[in-house]
Structure 1
Amino acid sequence: MGGMGKSQQSANPKTIMIFGSPRSGTTWLGKIFDSHPQSHYLHEPEIAQPTTVPVFPPDEALAITQLATDIGGWLNARDVRTTGTRPIIRKKGESAFHHALRQANIYAFKGMERLIPSMAMAGPVLQPPSKALTLMVIKTVNMLGRATLCLQAVPRLQGIHLVRHPCGQIASIMRGIEKFGERFELSNSALPYSPMGKREGLKPQDLAHLSPVEILAWKWAAFNDAAFQSLSDSDRAIIVSYEDMTCDPLGSVQQMFTQLGLEWAPEVEAFIRASSEGTEHDSHYGLKRDPRLAALRWQSELSADTVKTIEMICRKTAVGRWAFNVGTGDMADGINKVTSSLSSG
């Protein structure tokens, strides 16, 4: 009952991967896709089933072979961390009883997870029926350096690269560090092996001399650069500005659906409206917030010197120049419109 195995494969659904940096709106976008009644959403499956492919693979052929296996495994994941993100949305063809049972199953695992953290990777979690399934969505914040190879590994795969302005993303991470403490946010050993690190001659010994803000700026630039350089030229990928998306969530997502050849659903519109009605003070990890305020919050938090440091590093890449292209790009136009509406309101 509710398995996603062979019947899932026979439906041959579209498969999409959402790539982005942490704190860039990827979870919000992932749950927007999850709100489609014929989708199956997989939240960071590489956490429960880690890949052995390096962050910036030196051997592309070997990486492609391994990623094909990894993605196949992720599409069939049934652990609670990957398939139990809330809100738990009822799917087409799922009875009220099955949906209630699936919710109870997920909440039971979530409750046990508080006592035994390893339960987050436990399963199998009851899954929605697969007969009406037309879309599989994998969301990840750990695969930007391997994004291009993921598309090469699975020919039917389509990609979305969600890019948040580096100042907004870094300010959000710094808030998290201040609130929860530093865990892994400043890890940086892979940076010298990134395309950007090689171009700029970054050495492992240089990392010890970087400040936290410089590390975060390098991470934003290096990881987004690795994906942006190739995905922007791919006919199976689209680049999406988080700032543009926050200005017009409904129009932006409708455009994404059109570009990806997906059928629209009224449930998606309802979720977008419901998830955009929060305030800027909602939970750090919450989904319900005013996305325009979240996008612009950094402007009142970061000093001019901090912004200058971030800009100096990020402008070494095409994606960084795009993000800081004030006054000419769609992203900047969107930010200016939002700033005007907020100040006049």
Structure 2
Amino acid sequence: MDSAYLEGFSMEHPQRVVLVAGAGRSGTTWLGKLLDASPKVFYKNEPDNWAKLPFFRDVPSRLDPTPDNARHRDAYRQGIAACFWHHSTDFYRPPEFEKDFLRNGLFRLETLALRARRKLGRGVPVQRIPRFVFKQPVADVHLVMKSVISNLRLAWIHEHFPEIRLVMIIRHPGAYVASWRRGQNQEGWSGFGDRARLDETVLPFPHPDQERYRDVYENGSDLERELVYWLVANETPLLALADSPRLKLVVYEDLCADPEGVLREVYAHCDVPFGDSARSFVRASTSVHEDAYRSVLKDPTRTVNRWRDELSADESAVVERHLGASFLAKHWPRSVDA
């Protein structure tokens, strides 16, 4: 890492690197922005996805804890360092928060210029952040990276990066499916239940117990294949790390029911002070509702069970049947009767 950017920050400070992971459409963006609200947090939205930052692209999204691979470890460590001196395409994702370690006005101007260059077609996906936007020294900053492709390498990260604190969020599979469908309608997504998209993640099944999903994955409907993906993506890290004190599991529906209470637990796990800015954004993000697909301003009482009105009775029954056969069902004990 170029120490001229963030004097005093290094991987020697284990409490200062946090990974927020989850399957897509699980509330990762909301949770990430709730952490970004802290003036002590330097937030990166999916720096490892697609090719937003160098180095991360050399790390497969699915890795077993062993055998060790020095090339992957070195690439991931360099990706973490690059978070501090590279923009990614949506680095400063609105809403924006004041930071103790940034000259905020200069940083926003530079970010707006980068966005303008991209819109004009002259921007590049990755670009250096000018040094002058940082204040010095910045010894107490926390890097928070949000990722939707890390679930199946979470145990690998846990094994080889003991300095990283892990937060994983899960959401009811019915809500996951409904959100995916809205993405098809509003964002033009394609590939729901498509094996061309899912095989690389699902096969071979990471855990022997998951072989029971093979028949429905290979012969079932698109909905059933998407549910198998959800099961594999969420079961796999928890089978390996459920008892680890370095992993904080967040259930999206619990976050909706008690945003401040759950967030305080997350902040404590990450060793980030919970202050007025975080408290204010909790209230702001839950008291105003925007229907925009990627908005983080959502009334949780409207979003938490929205899927029940969007899926047919038959689809809901399929979802509940597959969820009920997994140990993950314990996180939604009233799901069937709700």
TM-score, length of structure 1 as denominator length: 0.83
User: 2-side partners of 1:304 and 1:7: how far apart?
Assistant: 56
1:91 to 95, 99, 104: 99
Q: Is the 8 A contact 2:11 2:163 kept in 1?
A: no
1:139 to 136, 139, 146: 146
1:1-345 → structure 2 map (5 Å cutoff)? 4-5=5-6, 7-9=8-10, 12=13, 14-47=16-49, 48-49=52-53, 50-57=56-63, 60-63=66-69, 66-67=72-73, 69-77=75-83, 78-81=86-89, 83-94=91-102, 98-116=103-121, 119=124, 121-126=125-130, 128-129=134-135, 131=138, 133-183=140-190, 185=192, 186=194, 187-190=197-200, 191-196=202-207, 199-200=210-211, 209-279=219-289, 282-319=291-328, 321-326=329-334
User: 2-side partners of 1:154 and 1:214: how far apart?
Assistant: 34
User: 2-side partners of 1:118 and 1:224: how far apart?
Assistant: 36
1:211 to partner: Cα distance: 2.3
The count of residues paired between Structure 1 and Structure 2 equals: 323
User: 1-side partners of 2:28 and 2:134: how far apart?
Assistant: 23
Q: Is the 8 A contact 2:227 2:322 kept in 1?
A: yes
Q: Is the 8 A contact 2:45 2:91 kept in 1?
A: yes
Match for residue 340 of structure 1?
none
User: 1-side partners of 2:259 and 2:74: how far apart?
Assistant: 32
Q: Is the 8 A contact 1:40 1:137 kept in 2?
A: yes
1:305 to partner: Cα distance: 1.2
User: 1-side partners of 2:225 and 2:188: how far apart?
Assistant: 16
What per-residue deviation string (whole Å, max 9, x for no partner) do you get for residues 225-280 of structure 1? Answer: 1112122111111111110101111111112223443322111101111111222x
1:93 to partner: Cα distance: 4.6
Q: Is the 8 A contact 1:192 1:202 kept in 2?
A: no
Q: 1:199 to 1:221 in 2, by over 3 A?
A: closer
User: 2-side partners of 1:109 and 1:210: how far apart?
Assistant: 45
Query: In structure 2, what residue type is equivalent to 1:200?
Result: E
Match for residue 341 of structure 1?
none
> RMSD between aligned alpha carbons?
2.9
1:55 to partner: Cα distance: 3.7
Q: Is the 8 A contact 2:205 2:211 kept in 1?
A: no
Q: 1:54 to 1:194 in 2, by over 3 A?
A: farther
TM-score, length of structure 2 as denominator length: 0.84
Task: Classify the secondary structure of the residue corresponding to 1:61.
Answer: coil
Query: Whose helix proportion is higher, 1 or 2?
Result: 1
Q: 1:208 to 1:134 in 2, by over 3 A?
A: same
Q: 1:242 to 1:20 in 2, by over 3 A?
A: same
Q: Is the 8 A contact 1:192 1:198 kept in 2?
A: no
Match for residue 343 of structure 1?
none
Listed as ranges, the gaps of 5+ residues in structure 2 are: none
Identity between Structure 1 and Structure 2 (%):
21
User: 1-side partners of 2:164 and 2:117: how far apart?
Assistant: 35
User: 1-side partners of 2:9 and 2:211: how far apart?
Assistant: 45
Q: Is the 8 A contact 1:64 1:152 kept in 2?
A: no
1:288 to partner: Cα distance: 1.1
User: 1-side partners of 2:74 and 2:105: how far apart?
Assistant: 34
Q: 1:10 to 1:4 in 2, by over 3 A?
A: farther
Query: In structure 1, what residue type is equivalent to 2:176?
Result: Q
Q: Is the 8 A contact 2:64 2:153 kept in 1?
A: no
Task: Classify the secondary structure of the residue corresponding to 2:63.
Answer: coil
Deviating 4+ runs (over 4 angstroms): 205-208
